[in-house]
Amino acid sequence: MKLLEFIEKYGEDLLDHYMPKRLFIKELGSLGWEMGKIVMLKELDEEADNSIVCTNPNFYPNGIIMGISTKTKIHACCETEFFIDDKRYTNIAEAVQLEGPQILYSINEWNWRITKEWVISRLATGKFVTTFETFEECPTRKSIRG
């Protein structure tokens, strides 16, 4: 799926959470990272296009490596807590199971209390380097000497 097709089908406001896989791989590579484990939207909504990547760290279990280089890794870290119609959730998959997959497309309307971040740390030592919340904020590998 191309970016314009994605925007036409899902809306531009969802680009902070989902992205066409081809674009994701290209963007990640242009930043100097290799792709690690990714969560596909299809895993949560079987009606979704099979080439959409979830880029929001709240979709990932702690420790899952989304991007990697020879010296550093990008992994999901921390807890998640959000409310949908006053119901508390700590896991997106649980919310989808209880509310149905259509809620994935109203993610910008959820009341987020605690969000995960993407953490960059050294492979050899595990030493913290930096964090970012959205894929758009992902630093280049070279900028963090990774």
Closest CA to 78 of 94, 93, 61: 61
Query: Quick one: which H or E segment has residue 120?
Result: strand 117-122
Chain mean pLDDT for the chain: 96
Encode pLDDT of 45-88 as tens digits. 999 999 999 999 999 999 999 999 999 999 999 999 999 999 99
Per the CB < 8 A criterion, the answer to whether 36 and 67 are in contact is yes
Strands (E), 34-105: 34-35, 39-40, 52-54, 65-68, 72-77, 81-84, 87-89
Number of structural domains (the chain) is 1
Q: Is 109 helix (H, G, I), strand (E, B) or coil?
A: helix
pLDDT at 1 over 90: no
pTM: 0.93
pLDDT at 101 over 90: yes
**Alpha-carbon gap, residue 65 to 118, rounded angstroms:** 9
Q: What are phi and psi of 6, to 5 degrees?
A: -60, -50
Q: What percent of the chain has pLDDT over 70?
A: 100
**Alpha-carbon gap, residue 112 to 89, rounded angstroms:** 10
pLDDT value of position 146: 80
Question: The domain containing residue 104 runs over which residues?
Answer: 3-144
Q: Is 64 helix (H, G, I), strand (E, B) or coil?
A: coil
Would you place residue 17 in the very low, low, confident or very high pLDDT band (cuts 50, 70, 90)?
very high
Encode pLDDT of 114-132 as tens digits. 999 999 999 999 999 999 9
pLDDT value of position 72: 98
